[in-house]
C-alpha cells in the first residue's frame, strides 16, 4: 500500500508540474496573441501600435506601483478610452475568461522584476 501511495504521489506531482508548465505556456501565448501587438513581447510598449495608443511600459517599476491588479482586470474587461472617448484598448471579455485575465495580470507584473 505504501508503494502505491508513493507512486501515486510521484505521478500527481509530475502531472502538477506539467499543468503548471502548460499554464505558463498558455499565459505567454495569450499575451502574445492579445497584448504584444501594442505592449510588445517584452512589455515595454515600444511597438508602432503601442506608441500610437500611448501604452505604458510594464517594465517600469514606478508605473507598476501606480496601478492595481483590479485596474488591470478592469482594463481587460471594459477596455480603455482616451480623454476624447476614443477607444485605446478593446475589451477582451469575448476572448479571455477570468482565470486567463488573472494570469495575464501576473504576466504583466513579471515584466517589472
**pLDDT value for 12:** 45
Alpha carbon 57 to its chain centroid, in Å, reads 14
**Which domains are seen in the chain, by residue range?**
2-110 (1.10.760.10)
Are 23 and 100 contacting, i.e. CB atoms less than 8 angstroms apart? Answer: no
Tell me the mean pLDDT in the region 92-106.
Answer: 94
- pLDDT tens for residues 78-95? 999 988 999 999 999 999
pLDDT on residue 106: 93
Instruction: Give the model confidence (pLDDT) of 31-61 as tens digits.
Output: 999 999 999 999 999 999 999 999 999 999 9
Amino acid at each position: 500500500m505504501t508503494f502505491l501511495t508513493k507512486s501515486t504521489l510521484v505521478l500527481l506531482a509530475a502531472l502538477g508540474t506539467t499543468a503548471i508548465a502548460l499554464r505558463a505556456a498558455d499565459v505567454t501565448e495569450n499575451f502574445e496573441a492579445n497584448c504584444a501587438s501594442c505592449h510588445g513581447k517584452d512589455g515595454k510598449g515600444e511597438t508602432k501600435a503601442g506608441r500610437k495608443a500611448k501604452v505604458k511600459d510594464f517594465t517600469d517599476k514606478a508605473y507598476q506601483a501606480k496601478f492595481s491588479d483590479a485596474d488591470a482586470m478592469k482594463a481587460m474587461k471594459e477596455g480603455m478610452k482616451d480623454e476624447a472617448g476614443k477607444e485605446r484598448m478593446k475589451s477582451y471579455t469575448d476572448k479571455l475568461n477570468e482565470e486567463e485575465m488573472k494570469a495575464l495580470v501576473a504576466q504583466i507584473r513579471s515584466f517589472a522584476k
